[in-house]
Amino acid sequence: MIREHRDSSLRYWNDIHKSQNYDRGSIRTDDWLERFDDIIMRSEKPVLDLGCGGGNDTLYLLSKGKQVIACDQSETAIENIRRNFPEVKEAICFNMLDGFPFDDEAFEVIIADLCLHYFGSEDTKAVLGEIRRVLVPGGHMILRVNSVNDVNHGAGHGKEIEYHVYETESGTIKRFFDEEDIRLFLSDFEIEYLKEETMSRYKFEKRLFRVCVKKW
């Protein structure tokens, strides 16, 4: 990712996390992880919540009694997590593009909810390589990413700087996946679940893919 996109992304997400002034009572879980409860409950290691943002998934995992390591590039998001969820095992601020500050095979389950669609192809592959490195063999990543049909949230809008990657008005970049892209990027994993669906968290419906993969 070029420096400009990376700086814009940090600025954009810090502004969002400041403006939303999250407090714990206003954070809602959503039910997308329920389908994978068996996998989540089996994990004996802490669960990694990548790109945790306000902590919707952190809250879900804590409600299931899991230990959680929450991570984000945004220091504001991490401050909010530390304030709202003092019970998280760790809240760590790092940029996924700089590599992950974890040992090999540190996790059995990684959640990556709406945070892996902000990169060009080379960066996407590098981030997925880091995810693979820190997963145990047989470990799972459960994720959601933008669909190419997510027209309410930018699919097909703006300048296409790479296949399926668009520059937004705020100077950030967004990738929109089709099923073929997902199968290609995740070819080093076994796909156990893959479904395109609609999410209603935002004012306008969002189209995305819900995916669960296993490291073989």
Ligand X SMILES: C[S@@+](CC[C@H](N)C(=O)[O-])C[C@H]1O[C@@H](n2cnc3c(N)ncnc32)[C@H](O)[C@@H]1O
- Residues engaged in binding ligand X (CB under 6 A): 9, 13, 51-54, 56-57, 72-74, 77, 95-97, 113-115, 118
CA separation for the pair 148, 136 (Å, rounded): 31
39 or 190: CB nearest ligand X: 39
43 or 146: CB nearest ligand X: 146
What string of H, E and C letters represents the secondary structure of 101-121? CCCCCCEEEEEEECCCCCCCH
43 or 73: CB nearest ligand X: 73
User: In 3D, which of 35, 214, 44, 49 has the Cα closest to residue 135?
Assistant: 214
CB of 22 to ligand X, least distance (A): 10
CB of 190 to ligand X, least distance (A): 23
Distances in Å between the Cα of 23 and the Cα atoms of 28, 77, 88, 114 are 11, 11, 15, 21
CB of 189 to ligand X, least distance (A): 19
User: In 3D, which of 19, 23, 28 has the Cα closest to residue 83?
Assistant: 23
CA separation for the pair 96, 192 (Å, rounded): 24
CB of 171 to ligand X, least distance (A): 14
15 or 190: CB nearest ligand X: 15
**């809008």: which residue's tokens?**
157
39 or 50: CB nearest ligand X: 50
CB of 74 to ligand X, least distance (A): 4
Q: Which ranges constitute the DSSP H helices of 26-86?
A: 37-42, 56-63, 75-84
CB 17 within 8 A of CB 74: yes
